[in-house]
Amino acid sequence: MNPISSPILSQLYLPMIDSNKHKSQTSEIGIIRNKAGLNTPVVDYVAVEAPLQIEINDKSVSITMRTPGDDNALSLGFLFTEGLIVDYNAIAAVHQKDENTINIIPEDGFEISPKSMERNFYSTSSCGVCGKTSVDAITAKSKYMPVKKPIKLADKMLFTLHEKLLAVQSAFEMTGGLHACALFSREGRYVFHSEDVGRHNALDKLIGHSLMAGRLPLSEHILLLSGRASFELVQKAAMAGIPVILAVGAPSSLAIDLAKENQQTLIGFLKKTGYNIYSGEALS
């Protein structure tokens, strides 16, 4: 399957045609809000969480709890970051069997190896490696690592990125319950973002869009995470060739170890006035 071409792609944006992209990410509910001891019935919005079964040739590969929308991108991004597919040309078709099932049809001659199929798992919205059957199954190797060409970053540019992400997080603004990740150019220009109840799902959606658009590797881009930087997020970024990872929250020890091994720049606790550098070269 050929990458989708668009004049906008030349400007580094990644819009994709996804039949389920506009499913509601939020749900309206009635709650009781207590303020200063006074209970008041109000309408509130919560992030939607629902299961998605990802299949290859009608065989289930994974079930993940996600926020509906961008299911095609999520499915393809998951298969890529898990090392089950290596590029978009391996895919003949993506079928939505029902609102919670995506079936991937590989091109003729492309098969998933038995070893790869052992990486199947059920994933909660908070864990992308839960259920793996061995330590070896946790790590997928990226052909884009270690980083070949580090990106120099300027403080003035870094301090603007979180506000740029918040400006496009419409579902988060309504619910406060979604994780987000955003892609920026090396100069700090906003490119694309994804949101989901699962931080790993949000990144799979972003990488899935990049895969379908023929933009991998993302070696000239910066990734911003709205929360903490875990091992699985650093690994998924590595699979896509992303050299710089910024997190609003803290990184884990294993995330730091992997970033150092990959020679990725890893920054945590990014604020308007400062940050911590955990891996990577000195910034400009």
| Domain spans, the chain | 155-279
Give the rounded percent of residues in the chain with a pLDDT score beyond 70: 78
From 127, 207, 224, 237, active-site residue: 127
Given its phi and psi angles, is residue 70 left (phi above 0), alpha (psi -120 to 50 degrees) or beta?
left
Which pLDDT belongs to residue 110?
Answer: 82
Picking from 238, 257, 280, 11, the residue whose alpha carbon sits closest to that of residue 152 is 280
pLDDT bracket for residue 114 (50, 70, 90): very low
pLDDT bracket for residue 21 (50, 70, 90): very low
pLDDT bracket for residue 13 (50, 70, 90): very low
Which pLDDT belongs to residue 142?
Answer: 92
Q: In the predicted model, is pLDDT for residue 122 greater than 60?
A: no
pTM of the full structure: 0.85
Which pLDDT belongs to residue 221?
Answer: 97
Give the CA radius of gyration of the chain. 19
In this prediction, residues 263-284 reach a mean pLDDT of 87
In this prediction, residues 132-159 reach a mean pLDDT of 79
> Known catalytic residue: 127?
yes
Which pLDDT belongs to residue 19?
Answer: 40
Please state whether beta strands 26-35 and 59-66 pair in parallel, antiparallel, or not at all (unpaired). unpaired
Arithmetic mean of pLDDT over the chain: 83
What lies within 8 Å, CB to CB, of 233 at 6+ separation is 181, 199, 200, 203, 225, 245, 255
Distances (CA, A) of 67 to 27, 87, 205, 224: 11, 25, 11, 19
Tokens of 32: 């009781």
Tokens of 241: 């060739």
Give the rounded percent of residues in the chain with a pLDDT score beyond 90: 60
Name the more confident of 266 and 284. Answer: 266
Angle between helices 231-239 and 253-262 (to 10 degrees): 20
CATH code of domain 155-279: 3.40.140.10
Strand partners, 225: 181, 247
Q: In the predicted model, is pLDDT for residue 93 greater than 70?
A: yes
In this prediction, residues 117-145 reach a mean pLDDT of 59
Q: In the predicted model, is pLDDT for residue 61 greater than 80?
A: yes
* Position 60, amino acid: S
CA angle 172, 173, 179 (to 5 degrees): 15
Which pLDDT belongs to residue 131?
Answer: 47
Name the more confident of 183 and 22. Answer: 183
Chain CA centroid to CA 71, Å: 12
pLDDT bracket for residue 26 (50, 70, 90): confident
